[in-house]
Amino acid sequence: MQILINKSVAFVVTMMTVFAVEAVAQGVSYQRVADMLYLVLSADRAVYTEKVVQRLTLDEQVIMVSEHFEDDAALPLPSQMFRFGSEYVADETEDFSYSLVSLDPINKKNGPGTDLEREGLEFVVDNPDEAFYGEEELGGQLYFAAVYADIAVAEACASCHNNHQDSPRDDLEVGDVMGGVIIRIPVE
């Protein structure tokens, strides 16, 4: 009898552990997917910024970089390249989405659009080395959301944002948090 009770308790404990691990694993997996996506996104943009834009515009000085790159036969800005990618993804899938947002956006539509975006952006301004994770419901769907700090890595980033006539800031310096990248994954 004692053996039976012991075995039952052991079985229940084991099952609970499995459930807990499973649940944690579920939670972690969204976070890990977001972290991995962010790594790809930021890596691609870094490569574009360094190997294409900086090399061709500053080092070799063979082409300009311009917001109106088509009119000016120039290279798109790294942030534009990033945004085009995000729109490309949005056109292809609803499995995840990402965008570049800021508390001080040049284009007002890139300002914090939801409570979570504001919270996340404020968090990464204070903790540039950490990511902010949360969940929010949009359009009747629950999303896992992760916000990562977007830092002015080059002088060009800061100066452009300081000088643009639609920008609310003119005091940005290299190393400052200009905004954040938010990645959303619908929670099934």
| Separation between Cα atoms, residue 45 and residue 85, nearest integer Å | 10
Contact with another protein (CB under 8 A): which of 87, 126, 130, 173? 87
Contact with another protein (CB under 8 A): which of 91, 95, 171, 188? 91
Between 19 and 88, CB nearer to another protein: 88
| Separation between Cα atoms, residue 154 and residue 150, nearest integer Å | 12
Q: In the structure encoding, which two tokens stand for residue 50, read together?
A: 């360094």
Find the farthest-apart pair of alpha carbons in the chain and give their distance in angstroms, rounded. 85
Contact 121, 180 (CB under 8 A): yes
Between 108 and 129, CB nearer to another protein: 108
Q: Is residue 71 close enough to count as binding another protein by CB under 8 A?
A: yes
Q: In the structure encoding, which two tokens stand for residue 55, read together?
A: 């090399």
Extended strands (E) in the chain: 97-101, 132-138, 141-151, 177-186
Contact with another protein (CB under 8 A): which of 70, 95, 171, 188? 70
Contact 181, 148 (CB under 8 A): yes
Between 59 and 92, CB nearer to another protein: 92
Q: Is residue 2 close enough to count as binding another protein by CB under 8 A?
A: no
Q: Are strands 141-151 and 132-138 parallel, antiparallel or unpaired?
A: antiparallel
How far apart are CB 143 and another protein at their closest, in Å?
Answer: 6
Between 57 and 86, CB nearer to another protein: 86
How far apart are CB 155 and another protein at their closest, in Å?
Answer: 18
How far apart are CB 15 and another protein at their closest, in Å?
Answer: 36
Q: What is the DSSP letter of 16?
A: H
Binding-site ranges for another protein (CB under 8 A): 67-68, 70-71, 86-88, 90-91, 94, 97, 99, 101, 108-109, 111, 113-114, 117, 138-139, 141, 143, 163, 165, 170, 182, 184, 186
